[in-house]
Amino acid sequence: MVSRDWVNKQYLLAWIFDVGRGSCAFVRTPSKDGVLIDCGGDEKIVCCVKEHLVPICRRCAGTEGKKNRIGQVIISHPHVDHFRSIEEAVKLNPMLWTCPHDKEPKLLEPDERLNWELIENPEDSDELLELYRNAYEGRRLPLQVFAPAHAVPHFAYGIFYIRPLECEPIENFLGEDEGLPEKDYANNTSIMVCFRFNRSSILFPGDMMASGMKRALEVGCENRRVGEGVPEKYRLESGSAQILRKWVNSGCSVLVAPHHGLESGYSPEFFRSLPTEDPRVGLVVISEKAKPRKGEGKVHTNYQSEEKVKGATVIDEYSSKSDRLSVTTRTDGNCLVGFRGTDDLSVVVSHDLEWILTDGPEALFA
């Protein structure tokens, strides 16, 4: 019988799932809230998250009395491999639904609407796109982050993103800064999600391209953050390059490689922004495409470079340990990383979905 002591602990746990060509992750915060980041691939994964993880997140009032409910669902950007299981994700009934959208802005609100003419999706995805649009129909503007169930010392959480208007190519761009390539448009609208617990952190950049990451770090981007050191409940510091750069300057324990680890998403500027005393990330998790198509490129070799990555000890469900610079969902299966508020990084991997959801957290800190 496996102990479930972790349920009551103030741990930061992040599951990155093997979903084939897409992307899907779930974060259980030290405040015991849940955040689903993308829902691509097999809907079984979201169903298992609902069965095994949602009940241990905080309970809040729903329309029919007390219900298990998570804090937030975030769809990083409008490519169907990141929301293929959206019908199941909607059933999670999150307090906040967050994604790039095409809603009309209200008075004094920033224009955050997508330009659907610049977004390419498979021809058979009309039904999924309709579900995507219906999901944010009642969402409040602008983009927000949830208020944690309770304050946890040294814990902060936030989202960073470039407004879609500023991701459009130069001929349509209204600002004074350099425009971004049209081919990168949809990926550069990615909402980047970050969690920091004491000096440990994890960053989910979605499919952010190198061009978008460079702009976000050098020119600036929108952000919403909560937690220690963030005095306002929903804080906005629009256009400030200092906020994201400051976050990266503090180090990155785990980088979920942007754009599935492909060369097109590798950002030299990100690595240049890491702490000068040790400009490396702790571990790279690659949500690798099961079968990259012709022209999609290959995984960047720097994610396996000791000059760029410190590495960590990785444990599988058989208790085998190996020192790794990166793990990939294609070869290692589902990945679970965890922080206890110390500098230690714990990682387990397994192709067994139910094991990593139920027994993985105990194996993580055994």
Q: Where do we find the tokens 């490519």?
A: 79
Distance from C-alpha of 46 to C-alpha of 213, rounded to nearest angstrom: 29
Tens digit of pLDDT for each residue in 243-271?
A: 899 999 999 999 999 999 999 999 999 99
Output the pLDDT for position 127. Answer: 95
Answer yes or no: is pLDDT of 64 > 50.
no
Q: Determine the CATH number of domain 5-364.
A: 3.60.15
Tokens describing residue 319: 């208790």
User: Average pLDDT in the 294-322 region?
Assistant: 90
Tens digit of pLDDT for each residue in 209-237?
A: 999 999 999 988 888 888 765 545 445 55
Sequence ranges of the domains in the chain: 5-364
Answer yes or no: is pLDDT of 171 > 80.
no
Q: What is the dihedral of CA 34, 330, 268, 228, to 10 degrees?
A: 10
Output the pLDDT for position 22. Answer: 86
Counting Cα atoms < 13 Å in the Cβ hemisphere of 64 gives 3
Which residues neighbour 309 within 8 Å (Cβ) at sequence distance 6 or greater?
280, 281, 282, 283, 284, 303, 325, 326
Output the pLDDT for position 67. Answer: 62
Distance from C-alpha of 214 to C-alpha of 219, rounded to nearest angstrom: 8
Distance from C-alpha of 29 to C-alpha of 202, rounded to nearest angstrom: 12
Distance from C-alpha of 361 to C-alpha of 366, rounded to nearest angstrom: 9
Helix (H) or strand (E) holding 316: strand 312-316
Answer yes or no: is pLDDT of 121 > 80.
yes
Output DSSP code: residue 333: -
The mean-pLDDT minimum among 45-49, 201-205, 292-296 falls in: 292-296
* Complete DSSP assignment for 335-351: EEEEE-SSS--EEEEES
User: Average pLDDT in the 306-313 region?
Assistant: 96
Q: At what angle do helices 241-249 and 210-218 cross, to 10 degrees?
A: 100
The per-residue b/e assignment along 344-365, b for 16 or more CB within 10 angstroms, e otherwise, is ebbbbbbeebebbbbbbbebbe
Q: Where do we find the tokens 């390059």?
A: 241
Tens digit of pLDDT for each residue in 315-363?
A: 998 999 999 999 999 999 999 999 998 878 999 999 999 999 999 999 9
Measured over the CA atoms of residue 52, residue 56, residue 60 and residue 61, the dihedral's sign is positive
Q: Where do we find the tokens 């982050």?
A: 145
Burial (CB count within 10 angstroms: exposed 0-12, middle 13-18, buried 19+), residue 194: buried
